[in-house]
Amino acid sequence: MDKYSKIIKELHKETKDLFRNIRLIAFDFDGVFTDNFVYTDENGRETVKSSRLDGIGLNKLKIMNVNSIVLSSEINNVVLERSKKLGIECKNGLKNKSKELIQIARSLDVDLTQTSFMGNDINDIGCLKMVGLPIVVPDSHNDVFEYSKYVTTAKGGHGAVREVCDIIERLKQ
């Protein structure tokens, strides 16, 4: 039995149904696409580490007509450039991610019960509380776990996004 078959087997029926019905997934960036560390050189230039696995997963979502977007409170070119490279829309510098997510879901005619948010920190709690399938990474801040219905096995920046995309793909087949 492969990794994802085991994960899916252990999911509650309700959680499986939530994954199957996802039409929109929004992601925080730092700590989800990255390992939540910032590397700063002597010139003040910041870099982050992310997993190349995530790109193929996001392409799978497109094929399945699952909308995806990055919502970040950070104002950082790294977020924009990585999102661009991954081919995913990005809204950054957001003061209120929840309000933005509601507007995006409405514009796509997607109910919040058919929406997932993947986050890792306390500024994600608003979004996690309002969606049908709130997801966090295992290295999240302790205060966000109570709002999740799924915790990835992969840490942020280590293929957590790909894990979620692969589970969605398998359950939609």
- Residue at 147: amino acid letter: Y
Residues with Cβ < 8 Å from 162, sequence gap 6 or more? Answer: 51, 53, 54, 56, 57, 154
Domain ranges across the chain: 3-172
Residues listed for the chain: 173
Tell me the pTM: 0.94
Residues with Cβ < 8 Å from 80, sequence gap 6 or more? Answer: 90, 92
State pLDDT tens for residues 13-67: 999 999 999 999 999 999 999 999 989 999 988 888 889 999 999 999 999 999 9
Residue 124, Cα to own-chain centre: how many angstroms? 11
The CATH H-level superfamily of 3-172 is HAD superfamily/HAD-like (3.40.50.1000)
